[in-house]
């Protein structure tokens, strides 16, 4: 288990940009309808 945690730390340290990009894309996909409706409402209110 300790070896696994060390490998995980190294992986995150080396690839944190890629991991954060993937998380951001997943977050945007899951919240797409909320974001789209918010943008459309903001656009129509002006």
- pLDDT at position 13: 92
- pLDDT at position 38: 79
* Interval 19-42: pLDDT, tens: 999 999 999 888 888 878 877 787
Determine the angle formed by the axes of helices 2-14 and 16-30, rounding to 10 degrees.
80
pTM value > 0.75: no
| Percent composition of the chain: helix, strand, coil (DSSP 3-state, to 5) | 90, 0, 10
Q: What is the distance between the alpha carbons of residues 38 and 29, in angstroms, rounded to a whole number?
A: 15
């Amino acid at each position: 288990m300790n070896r696994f945690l060390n490998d995980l730390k190294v992986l995150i340290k080396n690839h944190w940009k890629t991991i954060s990009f993937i998380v951001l894309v997943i977050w945007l996909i899951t919240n797409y309808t909320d974001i789209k409706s918010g943008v459309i409402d903001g656009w129509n209110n002006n």
